[in-house]
A and B are shown apart, each in its own frame.
Chain A
Amino acid sequence: MHGAGVEVERLRKVFGKKTAVEEVSFAVELGAVVGLLGPNGAGKTTVVNCLSTLLPMDGGRASVAGHDVADDPAGVRASIALTGQFAAVDDVLTGRQNLVLFGRLLKLDRRAAAARAEELLTRFGLSDAADQPVRSYSGGMRRRLDLAASLVVKRPVIFLDEPTTGLDPAGRQEMWEVVAGLREEGATLLLTTQYLEEADRLADRIVLVDHGKVIAEGTPGELKRQVGGQVCEVRAEPREQALRALRERLAEVSETGGVITVRGADTGTLAEVVRVLAGAGVETDDIRLRRPTLDEVFFTLTGHRSKEEVGS
């Protein structure tokens, strides 16, 4: 019996000439929540599709709940709950009908399927809409029903592929609460996301992927520390003058949206910034020291920004 919920070693997947996943290794321990974080096209969904036996791997090996993905795909399927990128529920059926159908497919009898549907609808805040067709649901409700559908039969490992992509802030917030609830219950969860904030909030550990490769791994705190030091943020007028003065004396000074940031900062830097700005005759509106965001971690490690907001 393996100790790990999910073990992935040198997973590789190629589509024709395109290498979707070059080499990805990571593990999700039992009871842990691991976030697979990366921009669109990084290969996250392909990894999940391989792990859930939807796609054959072209290299490496993987196991889920002790079942080898290549040798025992049926064992894997009986151990996973997959919530894919799309809210895969039937529009014309009601929320309850959707859940009952999945229960019946997995051999719950009529009564057990109905009871389990009721339980999940209540738990995910869908009781009021239970008997409405899904087409009348909001995006957030659809996603919660989708997650409920994957949990109709309890499974040791849960895959959540981009659970909040395309949701409005309220829908995202509700989804986060639901996932946080699963986490508290001790679920073993592999989550993919392109939202840094989401990984930061939900995951115990983050695996950062880009172009089909793992580029960093660690707790959110560890990843932030990899960037080194803290970030000093300054708002000052006139801005151009402040920027020029700081650049003369300090490295890694940049400016976005009216805010000047100095990286690799510590408390000494703070004092230095104040001194430089005072010397330049610039009026400082606001100055603070903070830990770098995951977006900055991403930028440091990959040389390009992650997708903070994606419309589709």
Chain B
Amino acid sequence: MTARTEAGLGNLFGQGLLLAGRNIRLNSVADTISTMVIFPVIFVFGFLALFGNLLRVRGIDYAQFLPPAIVVQWMFSVAITAAFFFASDRRNGMLARYRSLAISRGAVVVGRMGADSVRALLAIAVIIATGYVAGFRFQAGPLAALGFVALSVGFALTVSAGTSALGLVSRDPESVSATLHVVYLPLLMISSAFVPADAFPGWIQPFVRNQPVTAVLDALRALADGGPTAGPVLTAVLWLAGLLAVFSVAAVQAFRRAT
């Protein structure tokens, strides 16, 4: 009786899928057309209009340079939304209810990851399609393009693990979201997202070059533009693996204590 609904991978994925469906239905109300479609379009064309000419002087094709940055920005947004929903699930008692049900202990996590992956994929599709209109092209073939998508989703899920740890210790989704924006905006701005690292003042360049967001961006650009990919991708994957190890320990701890 007890093993029937809690134990085993069948329950983990079956119930995880049901909860992913629930999360997506909840998200689809919050994710209006404007945040999922119109905002990425505004960001791509807006930044292109702002910096396109400036960076052409430096020999940079900004339509090719920019879309990975917008993808990374949206992956952050997926992760922050995950934290927001965990905090509200905790505030309104859903988390306690799921934890008290005789369901797989990991189903809530699988459900969150499933929903985050779907949202990440949707955002990537919209941004890349917009990028194509602006002139962005995958220049290293379909396999590299697939790698680009996989790395982006991996990045979103890794960051989600960390943001979720924070979401799970809070009952205040708004303040969690505000706190995370304060962390993510500088990380994104002071990276190679919008301008190359050598455009920053000399004293801050070491940070720009060696922080994880830049590592992921460099890998994404290598996968999109062609050229040597192994080095940058390996650096990015190592970063993500390390962060994921730390974040998931924190998230599991927080999950076990969340009532």
**Chain A residues with a Cβ under 8 A of chain B:** 49, 52-55, 72, 74-75, 77-78, 80, 82, 84-88, 90, 92-93, 101-102, 104-107, 149-150
Contacts and interface: CB of A to CB of B under 8 A. Distances in A.
B101 interface: yes
B100 A53 contact: yes
Given A88-B92, A102-B101, A105-B101, A78 B1 contact: yes
Contacts of A86: 91-93
B2 A90 contact: no
A93 B25 contact: yes
B238 interface: no
Given A101-B18, A105-B15, A105-B103, A78 B94 contact: no
A134 B146 CA distance: 40
Contact of A88 (B2, B19, B94, B257): B94
A78 B96 contact: no
A92 B26 contact: yes
B1 A52 contact: no
Label chain B's interface by main secondary structure: helix
B4 interface: yes
A63 to B, nearest CB: 14
Contact of A106 (B3, B99, B101): B101
A54 B22 contact: no
Most chain A CB within 10 A, of B15, B18, B97, B107, is at B97
Given A92-B26, A106-B103, A77 B97 contact: no
B6 A82 contact: no
A139 to B, nearest CB: 13
A105 B97 contact: no
B259 interface: yes
A82 B97 contact: yes
B33 interface: no
B259 A74 contact: no
B100 A78 contact: no
B5 interface: yes
Given A78-B2, A92-B25, A106-B103, A84 B18 contact: no
A78 B18 CA distance: 19
Contacts of A87: 92-93
B29 interface: yes
Nearest to A15: B257
Given A53-B100, A106-B102, 9 more contacts: A54-B259, A72-B2, A74-B2, A78-B1, A92-B29, A105-B5, A105-B103, A107-B11, A150-B97
A85 B99 CA distance: 14
A90 B22 contact: yes
A84 B1 CA distance: 24
B93 A85 contact: yes
Contacts of A55: 257, 259
Given A88-B93, A104-B18, A54 B100 contact: yes
A75 B6 CA distance: 10
A106 B18 contact: no
Interface string B101-119: 1110001000000000000
A196 to B, nearest CB: 25
A77 B18 contact: no
Nearest to B15: A105
B72 to A, nearest CB: 29
Given A49-B259, A78-B1, A106-B5, A54 B96 contact: yes
The CB with the most chain A CB atoms within 10 A, among B6, B25, B29, B102, is that of B102
Interface in B174-214: none
A49 B95 CA distance: 12
Instruction: Rank and list the top 5 A-B pairs by shortest CB-CB distance, nearest first.
Output: A86-B93, A88-B93, A77-B102, A88-B97, A78-B2
Nearest to A82: B100
